[in-house]
Amino acid sequence: MNLVRRLTLPAVILILAWGFWMNEDFLQLSAGIALFMFGMLSLEQGFQAFTGGVLEKVLAASTGTRARSMGFGLVATALMQSSSLVSLITITFLSAGLIGLAQGIGIIFGSNIGTTTGAWLMASYGVKIDLASYAMPMAVFGILFIYQKSKLRQGGGHVLLGIAFLFIGIQFIKEGFEAVSQGMDLTQFAMEGYAGVFVFAAIGIALTVVMQSSHAVLMLTIAALAAGQVSYYNALALAIGTNVGTTITAILGAMGANVAGKRLAGAHLVFNLTTGLIAIVFIGPMAELVGDLAAWLGIAADDYTLKLAVFHTVFNVIGVAIMLPLVDRLVVFLEHVLPEKDVVDGVEQPRFLVDSLVDYPDAALVALTRETQHLALNSVDIIAQILGFQRGDILGDEPMERIVERSRYLEHVHLRQVYQARIKAIYSAILEFSVKAQPRMSGEQAAMAHELREAARFWVETLKLLKLLRKNVETYVESDNIHMREQYDRIRVNLGELIRALIELRKIDDADIVRERVESLKEKARADDAVANGTLDRLIRDDLITAAMASSLMNDTSYAGEMHDLIIKASGILYSLTRSFGEEMADLPDDAGQMPAEERMRVAEMLRQSQQDIDDAIEKGRPSR
């Protein structure tokens, strides 16, 4: 496979070079395709300049319902002229948990309809007027804007330049086919009946896979049809093939995504295959329907390029109409076929961090927050296990003293193995992702990302202290010395109550109440500190414990106190970002290093909404009443 990949590019270069040498018209046609695809790349680069909050904001507002999701997919594809790009962006956001699978499928449905706008552009204007004349002023203004310092102006410049190259590419493709048609007759390869439909659909799929652009293949198809180089029915089959072929890009993009992204790619494949098969089976009736619609729209009977655009729109709309009622069943099917695999080779993997998400600062920040929460939940599970609790004990309302009293036997846990299995991969991903994401972030966003990284570090440091504490906890919870048993029980109670309280405090929006509760927990921990309150001195003085016991208790009390502080710090960061960030930051002045107040409030809302999945995970762990 690697050998094939290495040989592909040289082979393509040799074939193109031979074609250019043999036929100048082929050179013009190839140049048109290249310019068209370069225009698409420039459009993509231009729109990326607006993703530092704009795209995330639009996505959040546009995917609340299935109809809105479809509208987003339609409009985004119409603007970017790339259904593949929209698919990849959707896979990225879905992989990060920012949208649901049903919403992602809605975007794909809308994107398939949006891709028909390219066919309408080419059929309506590309083959009838000189689009290159309109491209020239766009190119001039595009270059002018690109050399501005403003990122948004540069993005606008790339968009204008992209449209200019699209128009120039279309003109070259049209003229190239007109020239080719004078030197050769491709109609000799025309095929009638279903054999022709299947063969040309396969050609459409192959061309789309090679060129990685259904829009470019559609442009070629319409230009060939206008030049009389393909028959109408063969052109319809080519259009069907491009629709199916475009799923390959989504599948390739999903290879680096998590299971959620793979599910969306699967949905894309199912939808386009189903739509393609329906179009092939009913191509005759659909062609008749297109003829009636064309007559109703005032399209001439022999205007086959516009009729092709109508056909492309009709079979995509019919496909959406058929599949839309089946979305929920499709979601269930994909979740069954592609179950969650959070553990690979015994190591739990990060759930929300996707490499391609670093280009979208707000979304990256939300994903980083959720992954840090994921790390925190795993850390809580490990702490509870080491201290002899179940997660249900922590999440329940039974007094911690009673839980500690009945938890006398502590199963020995290989903490190093547990850390490797449940923490290390997630922590490493958080560190790597935060570093990669920060260059695209504003000063305020980068500061938040740094805080989240610190929160993750605090949890890891807590587990390191737990490793030091564990041995003596296991020893003294079953000790015959009642005094040592009481002191280690007190350490367990305080840590258990702290974690329980911090989980419950996540539901409280009043920061003052939270601070009061946390302060009371600190006071209680200080009051129970055997060293600080004189208990250790008394136990030594009255010969109730040995010197070795006293040394262990003094060290472990210190470790427990440090754990207490680290857990509060880590939880405080997550709380401030997900609950009160907007309220605390909204009144700060808007200088160059900070997000505007409106943006800060919006990020805060996104982070608050991201709590729902974590809340659901916690609720599942609560004991039944």
Least confident of 59-73, 278-292, 489-503: 59-73
pLDDT tens, 65-92? Answer: 777 888 888 887 777 666 666 776 777 6
Cβ atoms of 76 and 51 within 8 Å: the answer is no
Residue 61 has pLDDT above 70, yes or no: no
**Average pLDDT value for the chain:** 75
- Confidence at residue 459, expressed as pLDDT on a 0 to 100 scale: 92
With CA atoms as reference, report the closest residue to 349 among 418, 450, 427.
Answer: 427
Pick 123 or 117 by higher pLDDT: 117
What pLDDT band is residue 457 in, cutting at 50, 70 and 90? very high
Pick 478 or 457 by higher pLDDT: 457
Q: What are phi and psi of 477, to 5 degrees?
A: -70, -20
Instruction: Note the Cα 566 to chain centre separation in Å.
Output: 31
Range 585-605 average pLDDT: 41
- Say whether pTM exceeds 0.85: no
pLDDT tens, 600-622? Answer: 455 455 555 555 555 555 555 54
Beta-carbon neighbour count of residue 325 at 10 Å? 8
What Å distances lie between residue 130 and 81, 127, 170, 431, CA to CA? 20, 8, 9, 53
What pLDDT band is residue 15 in, cutting at 50, 70 and 90? low
- Confidence at residue 533, expressed as pLDDT on a 0 to 100 scale: 78
- Confidence at residue 43, expressed as pLDDT on a 0 to 100 scale: 65
- Confidence at residue 149, expressed as pLDDT on a 0 to 100 scale: 77
**Highest-pLDDT range among 277-281, 499-503, 506-510:** 277-281
pLDDT tens, 329-350? Answer: 888 888 777 776 655 556 788 8
Residue 585 has pLDDT above 60, yes or no: no
Instruction: Note the Cα 537 to chain centre separation in Å.
Output: 57
Least confident of 278-287, 302-311, 378-387, 502-511: 502-511
Residue 1 has pLDDT above 50, yes or no: no
Cβ atoms of 477 and 410 within 8 Å: the answer is yes
Least confident of 127-136, 152-161, 432-441: 127-136
Beta-carbon neighbour count of residue 255 at 10 Å? 9
Residue 156 has pLDDT above 50, yes or no: yes
Residue 284 has pLDDT above 80, yes or no: yes
Distance CA(441)–CA(439), nearest Å, equals 6
Residue 413 has pLDDT above 80, yes or no: no
**Highest-pLDDT range among 109-123, 259-273, 557-571:** 557-571
Beta-carbon neighbour count of residue 376 at 10 Å? 24
Cβ atoms of 215 and 77 within 8 Å: the answer is no
Least confident of 3-17, 266-280, 596-610: 596-610
Cβ atoms of 256 and 249 within 8 Å: the answer is no
Distance CA(419)–CA(614), nearest Å, equals 21
With CA atoms as reference, report the closest residue to 553 among 473, 493, 495.
Answer: 473
Residue type, 137: P
Least confident of 42-56, 77-91, 446-460, 509-523: 42-56
> In degrees to the nearest 10, what's the CA dihedral of 540, 545, 550, 553?
-120
- Confidence at residue 254, expressed as pLDDT on a 0 to 100 scale: 62
- Confidence at residue 8, expressed as pLDDT on a 0 to 100 scale: 57
Residue 279 has pLDDT above 80, yes or no: yes
Residue 201 has pLDDT above 80, yes or no: yes
Token pair in block for residue 374: 């994921």
Residue 203 has pLDDT above 90, yes or no: no
